[in-house]
Structure formats: C-alpha cells, structure tokens
C-alpha cells in the first residue's frame, strides 16, 4: 500500500472539553474541526502534520460508549490516510487481514473510512481514511 501516511490517532474520552484543554496547553495543539457524529462529539486537534481525534459518546450505547465501559479512556484507533481506500481494503483482504468494513463508509469530516479488525493487526484497531 503505497502512499499511506499517519492521519490521526483516535482517543476515547469521557470528557472531551477537559482533554482538549489539556492537549491544547500541553502540546500546543489547535482545534481544527469539531462535529457531532454517529452519537458522539468529535474534535480534531492539529498536532504537527497529524491530528488527535477526541471521541466522547453522547449516548449510553454505541461503539465509543462500549469501548469506554470495556477499556476505559485512552487510544481507541490509529488512522492511516490512503489515496485509494478500495485498493487498500483489497490489499488488506488479500493479505488475510480481517476487515470490519468490507466497503468504505462515511466518517467524520465526510471522509470515506474503513476499519481493520485488531485480531489481524497486532491488537490495534486501524482505520483507513480517504480524503
């Protein structure tokens, strides 16, 4: 998969405002984008050439709420930008990587995204992002 690069690190939190304030002060991060999406508040903080994506659930059900119940706050996923998400998914499938999303879906910022199962990637939830 040529042309990939680190896009962002997703961080699950129970208090987005508090964590955003900490990262803004600690790392000199700047708020690049905020939206309500898929039952959660999402905020992207620009840090150098990448982002921290802060994820706070707004409902007691959903992927991030379940993650927080199971794992507590912390790194949820690592996102890799790709110029061709369909080709990246095909390559991953050919390599035997278990796909959570066999076809891309709409993610934050309106980007196409697809997730790879951590069982196949060393325990890390990876997300492909096509801008």
**According to the model, what pLDDT value does residue 2 have?**
60
Q: Is the pLDDT of residue 106 over 60?
A: yes
Structure-model confidence comparison of residues 63 and 3, the more confident one: 63
CATH architecture of the domain covering 5-130: Roll (3.10)
Encoded tokens for 56? 């706070």
**According to the model, what pLDDT value does residue 3 have?**
77
The model's pLDDT over 39-98, given as tens digits with 9 standing for 90+, comes to: 999 999 999 999 999 999 999 999 999 999 999 999 999 999 999 999 999 999 999 999
pTM score, whole prediction: 0.94
Q: Is the pLDDT of residue 1 over 70?
A: no
Structure-model confidence comparison of residues 3 and 56, the more confident one: 56
User: In the chain, what are the domain boundaries?
Assistant: 5-130
The model's pLDDT over 26-40, given as tens digits with 9 standing for 90+, comes to: 999 999 999 999 999
Length of the chain equals 131
- Specify whether the CB–CB gap between 89 and 99 falls below 8 A: yes
Q: How far apart are CA 102 and CA 54, in angstroms?
A: 25
**According to the model, what pLDDT value does residue 95 have?**
97
Handedness of CA 75, 120, 122, 2 (dihedral sign): negative
SS3 letters across the chain: CCCCEEEEEEEECCCHHHHHHHHHHHHCCEEEEEEEECCEEEEEEEECCEEEEEEEECCCCCHHHHHHHHHCCEEEEEEEECCCHHHHHHHHHHCCCCECCCCCEECHHHCEEEEECHHHCCCCCEEEEEC
Query: How much is the mean pLDDT over the chain?
Result: 96
**According to the model, what pLDDT value does residue 129 have?**
98
């Amino acid at each position: 998969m040529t042309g990939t690069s680190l896009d962002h690190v997703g961080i699950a939190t129970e208090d987005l405002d508090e964590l955003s304030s900490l990262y803004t002060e600690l790392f000199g991060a700047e708020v690049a984008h905020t939206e309500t999406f898929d039952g959660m508040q999402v905020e992207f903080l620009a840090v150098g050439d990448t982002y921290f994506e802060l994820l706070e659930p707004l409902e007691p059900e959903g992927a991030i709420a379940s993650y927080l119940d199971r794992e507590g706050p912390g790194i949820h996923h690592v996102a890799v930008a790709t110029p061709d998400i369909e080709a990246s998914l095909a390559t991953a499938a050919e390599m035997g990587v278990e796909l959570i999303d066999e076809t891309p879906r709409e993610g934050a910022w309106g980007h196409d995204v697809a997730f790879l199962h951590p069982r196949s990637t060393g325990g890390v939830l990876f997300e492909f992002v096509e801008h």
